[in-house]
Structure 1
């Protein structure tokens, strides 16, 4: 009972601020890593790209990172900026598999930054991976610094996302590429505040209304920021239903129940209890990979 009361108090504190930075930071501090990754082999914080036969969130999350790296065209010698990097799993993968010169990561959540820094030090990659605190809407780097800018399932937190587009454009070198994995409504009639599924409560808690728009508006905002060759491609058919099925199977697994506390199990079970409502509302949510290029001189 005491644990449940503490968690409820944290939730109330999280949603009681109008500051989007504080709200996002509190969201990621709300769920302890010991619970979030209790049955995981990675610390990816994304919904994953689910190929046929994939049954692991870790595998799906790595595949999404691979596809975002492909979309950005990260290659040997690049200088890359990763915004909202979570625990940085994708950066460790990219630096080993694609050989960029260096990846800089900006994040606003202290414990994630510290974890990524500690891992980079432990793996001897501090010269190629640099993680620091900073905002995607006020990037602390000079103009024309990066070959690629990426955001893996984080840009919906950036307030506003349009300011992130402008900052990404500024710090990219001419000809540089922005690539973003992002969550959007499928059409204009989807009202964010009317979503009722508890499994989608993160959209209510962390997604600012100014960022709630469709892929067509998304492309227009990229163009307004100065980008060209803009694409916003839906991959929702490889994300939502597969992730939903994975979570249902996970929660129903006796082994998982033994890994978490009774309070944690009760909470996650309740969040995922109304599957018909969740399936209906997931039909209104898009998942996209957006790619845009800064014009070459």
Structure 2
């Protein structure tokens, strides 16, 4: 018997299914992330090409951290699989597996990448699965990454344990996403008052230390959580200004960052030579 279909929270089901967030103009190009704007001139007018470059560059920043060249890589929360295709074309992994919890997203990913799937069937695949229960074998991968999906994962410790399980000794993990700032007072209530995605339960407010601690408890070593907010929020807000007026709720992402409630992070860690951690007892 196969695995049962994973439970999809209603907010996630609607947003990534019938609503199809990838078709919303603010997510130009089909990527669904806020972007990494370090190569874009924010003083001038922004083009759709600038926006797509920012989304691709966020993937590149994450992929640089896991160095997938020659290894087997898995993306958790792959969406339309455009990041998988970018990784395959630019980083030369032996194979890429994209995992997503939403069956409609998986169908779209297979459609969007049908030429690549036909040309490289041994190097690219898409699987249905939850971050907390990955449909993957033990020690199957050299690296695992996730780009702006972690804010939807309901159980970060379970995700961390699964990442440890599917990675080989010496494997690397990199997760990009937005979290509450450690020590921020009443972040859940404040974010719910600022941003509809938190008020409605699509995004889950957790401090970045929650994931860092979960990775450490799962046996990972060298856990780091680095803010990349300066490369994300100003560009994202400039792009949002094309669609949303000041004072509307999407523009409050910038306000949440400026008030030190929310930030964007890259969290990285590695397994030791004998598996998660360093394999030593001391």
Alignment partners' CA distance in 2, 1:126 and 1:120:
11
Equivalence for 1:5: none
| 2:13 matches 1:25 | yes
After the TM superposition, which residues 220-231 of structure 1 pair with which residues of structure 2 at under 5 Å, given as runs? 220-231=213-224
Q: What runs of 5+ residues in structure 2 fail to find an aligned partner?
A: 1-6, 275-282
Q: 1:37 to 1:245 in 2, by over 3 A?
A: closer
CA positional deviation for 1:34: 7.6
1:281 — aligned with what?
256
Residue 17 of structure 2 aligns to a residue in which SS?
Answer: helix
TM-superposition CA deviations, 1:217-261 (whole Å, max 9, x none): 43222111100011111000111121111110x22xxxxxxxxxx
Aligned to 2:4: none
Matched with 2:121 is 126
Equivalence for 1:53: 41
1:108 aligns with 2:83: no
Cα distance, 1:126 vs structure 2? 3.1
Q: Which has the higher helix share?
A: 1
Residue of 189, 194, 197 corresponding to 2:190 = 194
For residues 167 and 82 of structure 2, what CA distance do their matches in structure 1 show?
23
Q: Could you state the TM-score of these two structures normalised by the residue count of structure 1?
A: 0.78
Aligned residue among 139, 144, 149 for 2:144:
149
Change (3 A) 1:63 1:164: same
Secondary structure at the aligned position of 1:181 is classed as: strand
Instruction: Answer yes or no: is 1:158 the counterpart of 2:153.
Output: yes
- Shift, 1:193, TM fit: 3.0
Correspondence list, 1:1-297, <5 A: 21-32=9-20, 35-37=23-25, 40=28, 42-51=29-38, 52-53=40-41, 55=46, 56-75=50-69, 77-123=70-116, 124-188=119-183, 189-195=185-191, 200-204=195-199, 205-208=201-204, 212-213=206-207, 215-248=208-241, 250-251=242-243, 272=248, 275=251, 279-283=254-258, 284-297=261-274
RMSD of aligned Cα (Å): 2.4
Distance verdict in 2 for CA 1:239–1:33, change over 3 Å: closer
Q: Which moved more, 1:287-296 or 1:113-122?
A: 113-122
1:110–1:53 distance in 2 versus 1, CA, 3 Å: same
- Deviation of 1:25 after TM superposition, in Å, equals 1.9
Q: How far apart, CA to CA, are the structure 1 residues paired with 2:103 and 2:75?
A: 16
SS in structure 1 opposite 2:169? strand
C-alpha displacement of 1:294: 0.9
Gaps (5+ residues) in structure 1? Answer: 1-18, 252-267
1:39 deviates by 7.9
CA shift in 2, pair 1:27/1:33, >3 Å: closer
Residues 187-219 of structure 1: CA deviation (Å, up to 9, x unaligned): 331422332566x3223322335xx12x33432
Q: Tell me, yes or no, if the aligned pair for 2:62 and 2:176 is still in contact at 8 Å.
A: yes
Distance 2:93 2:197 in 1: 33
Change (3 A) 1:157 1:166: same
